[in-house]
Structure 1
Amino acid sequence: MAANRQMEIALAAVKLFERKGYHATSVQDIADEVGLQKGSLYHYIHSKEDLLLQIAHQAITDFNDRLEAILASNLPAKEKLIQAVENHLTVSTANIETTTVLLREAFSLGENQHQVIQDLTDRYVDLWAAILNEGKANGEFHVEQPKIAALAILGACNWVYRWYRTSGKLGAKEISRIFSAVFLDGLLA
């Protein structure tokens, strides 16, 4: 029961952090959202910052775990990259509030907590670069600086939280096909 309540609190926090921002959301707002007294909320959480850390940690860990599975597959690097883009965009758009909190609000964490998220984020970039390095090593990709290229791809993929709408004409799979074509084929005819 306590685990369900903690999940309910985390989901309420995600919604509030996404809508109002981390700093503008009070512990009282979170308590009100889940129908608890502020004092009772502390039975389930240590602090608002710990709640943000928990949300960001779970989100980036999920991204890392999924990308590690893609990287471990026997697929050619091109297919790994296509799957990585599709996975990133599908997860991001399916969990747009959480993605927004991870990308926009995790910077509000204190230095030590932010470093935990930064280390996991750096790991994610390294996994993308590993796909590009693999493709470079086997002749699939021409890429001078795999880590910079990985950051460029992630920059494009991460920005989806700012403009994606579920009511839009294209879903995550269609958008990922377009992105992958740009990343793999470029723009030149």
Structure 2
Amino acid sequence: MKLSEKKILKKKEEILLSAITIVNRKGYDGATMEEIAAELLMTKGSLYYYFKNKGDLMYQCHNLVLSQATKELEVNLNEEGTAEEILRKMVVTHINYAIEEKETFNLIIEPRQMFNEEQIEPVLKLRKHYSSLFDNVIEKGIATGEFHAKEPIIVRMIVLGAMNWIQQWYKPTGRMTKEELEQYFADYIIKLLK
């Protein structure tokens, strides 16, 4: 890779990280190209050198965050330990992303409303892979006798649905810390599978 290509990739990543911060702070509608450019001391026009439009920028932000979350889940899944121990780590990873990357991560829930036809297929493919990692650990637990579930796919949908809902009500100033909530969620999810 040429030095000029490396510089473009580095600048693009810098823009994405800044945009993710702004989207998580202000929401999708509140994050404007002007504000993202201003945060980076760039002109709005300069952003269009790197991204076609706001939709393209949001797609790439979402893709970056979901890819990072997927890689972390893959690491969790490949660690030594029982299915329960691995699932607990995966719950913590998911909840951390659901809270810390709320707005960007939330684009996973209904991507058809946010992305164009060209972007939908890769988003849905990555999303399917992400959820399959939970299927893998649940199936591992069933195979070892740790978990009991007649419909593992339904259990996974319940688990992800419950964890995604945290975005609707979690407040950092609430009566429980994020770490306490992660523990409670993990405990109840494990009970669901026992």
**Length-normalised TM-score, structure 1:** 0.83
Pairing partner for 1:65 from 66, 71, 75: 71
Segment of structure 1 superposing worse, 121-130 or 68-77: 68-77
How far apart, CA to CA, are the structure 2 residues paired with 1:105 and 1:171?
Answer: 29
Tell me the residue number matched to 1:130: 136
1:170 aligns with 2:176: yes
| Residues in 2 aligned to 1:20 and 1:64: alpha-carbon distance in whole angstroms | 22
In 1, Cα distance between the equivalents of 2:147 and 2:23?
Answer: 40
Counterpart in the other structure of 1:48: 54
Q: What's the offset of the Cα at 1:79?
A: 0.9
Unmatched 5+ stretches in structure 1? none
- CA change 1:16–1:101 in 2 (3 A) is farther
Q: Is structure 2 residue 81 aligned with structure 1 residue 75?
A: yes
Could you list the runs of 5+ residues in structure 2 that have no partner in the other structure?
Answer: 1-6
Rounded to whole Å, the distance in 2 between the matches of 1:90 and 1:16 is 18
Q: What is the identity, as a one-letter code, of the residue corresponding to 1:175?
A: L
Q: Distance in 2 between matches of 1:26 and 1:89?
A: 27
How far apart in 1 are the matches of 2:105 and 2:154? 22
User: What's the CA shift string for 1:70-126, capped at 9, x where partnerless?
Assistant: 111221111111111112112332333433444466741012202211110100111
TM-aligned CA deviation for residue 169 of structure 1: 2.3
In structure 2, what is the Cα distance between the partners aligned to 1:178 and 1:141? 18
In structure 2, what residue type is equivalent to 1:165? Answer: K
- State the 1:12 CA deviation: 4.2
Cα offsets for 1:123-155 (capped at 9, x unmatched): 011110111111111111111111221111011
SS in 2 for 1:42: helix
Q: Deviations over 1:17-52 (max 9, x none)?
A: 452534x75534533454433322222323322211
CA distance 1:124–1:135, shift in 2 (3 Å): same
Rounded Cα–Cα distance in structure 2 between residues aligned with 1:62 and 1:86: 14
Provide TM-score, normalisation by structure 2: 0.81
CA-atom RMSD, angstroms?
A: 2.5
The alignment status of 1:114 with 2:117, answered yes or no, reads: no
Quickly say closer, same or farther: Cα 1:77–1:9, change in 2 above 3 A. same
Cα distance in structure 2, aligned partners of 1:41 and 1:91: 26
Letter in 1 for 2:125: D
Specify the alignment match of 2:28 in structure 1: 21
